[in-house]
Amino acid sequence: MYDMIVIGAGPAGISMASEARAAGIGAGKILIVEKAAEHSFSIKRYYPDNKLVTANYKGFEAACTGVMCLVDSSKHETISYLDRTISENSITVHYEETVFRIHKDAAQQRFTITTDRGSYDATVVVIAIGILGKPNKPGYRIPPSLKERILYDVTTTDVAGAGILVVGGGDSASEYCQYLVQKGNRITLSYRRVDFSRMNDINRRSILALAQRGQVEIMFGSNVTGVADASGKPAVAFAEPGFGRRTYDFVLYALGGTTPHNFLKTIGIEFDGEEPYVQEAHETNVRGMFLIGDLSAGTKGGSIIWAFNSANTAMKRICREYLRCSADPSSAKSVPR
């Protein structure tokens, strides 16, 4: 049982764990779960070595309120600072581990976080994932008349009792199928390979169990070559003669590159238009679940200082409402040189 589980090991997630340590939470009571093989993956991958990592961004004042702070620094200096923070605070990070379900206990303040490696319980959950790209789309043309019938996530359109083709073979494809079956839909899954080598074990077992019970039809070795409008419904053509052409009510693409919106909605976070709804101190509508970093910054987008400060703000409320700790609103302690 953890006091706090943080999802995401970027600047926001690392600062959240650091704030918890500064507030008196033991190292063994804090866990960061990160799907990448290393922390701060976006900075390491997308920032050129000679590009400054700037503290201020899009009008946010670069004034630090918590235990972490940053001046404009090189990529190497920034990563070294985050490395030291993890080491000096004895922060545990589980790398290459993907969270795909968070369940809130209705009777007590407890979350169960399920990943591709197992499950964990925690009093508080903090979501500190970044803003990702748009969903990947197929290479063939989709008729504009089918716009309402072509989906790229399971939350934008509420679908029940329909015939749906899900295209893809990764974890998202399995999770979409599981979700849609619960809504009473008739699901067919099209995957170009002959086995689910990309899925984690939990999702693989789940989708195969659904197929065994006749709730999902799996078309291994199938390749969609195009979609046409058949009286307002998508008629799907396959390269393989054995599959031919089939008509569905909807086609849902699970081809990777999805935004975090779908994940946030499936774990119960409400949205205000395109933005996730956050209350005082970045707490979501789910009691004890917080959203910090870029996704709590609104339409302007965030910055590293915003990430650090949002963790400090959230920690004050966490100590006041959920954990026995003392979040001191002290100014920044550690600035990289």
pLDDT for res 337? 34
Phi-psi region of 50 (alpha: psi -120 to 50; beta: other; left: phi over 0): alpha
Is 298's pLDDT higher than 70? no
Reported as a pLDDT band with limits 50, 70 and 90, residue 320 is very high
Of the listed ranges 23-27, 174-178, 318-322, the least confidently predicted one is: 174-178
pLDDT for res 227? 98
pLDDT for res 329? 45
Domain ranges of the chain: 2-133+259-321, 144-253
pLDDT for res 335? 43
2.10.109.10, 3.40.50.11720, 3.50.50.60, 3.30.590.10: which CATH number matches 144-253?
Answer: 3.50.50.60
CA 226 vs CA 143, 151, 187, 239, 248: distances in Å: 10, 15, 19, 9, 13
pLDDT for res 180? 93
**186: how many CB neighbours lie within 10 A of its CB?**
16
Give per-residue pLDDT as tens, 95-131.
Answer: 999 898 999 999 999 999 999 899 999 999 999 987 6
Reported as a pLDDT band with limits 50, 70 and 90, residue 134 is low
Contact by Cβ (8 Å): 80, 324: no
Q: Which ranges in the chain belong to alpha helices (H)?
A: 11-22, 41-46, 75-88, 171-182, 201-212, 260-266, 304-321
Mean of the per-residue pLDDT values of the chain: 88
Reported as a pLDDT band with limits 50, 70 and 90, residue 61 is low
Residue 214 phi, psi (nearest 5): 80, 15
Superfamily of domain 2-133+259-321: FAD/NAD(P)-binding domain (3.50.50.60)
pLDDT for res 52? 64
pLDDT for res 257? 58
Q: What is the mean pLDDT of residues 246-260?
A: 84
Higher pLDDT, 75 or 226: 226
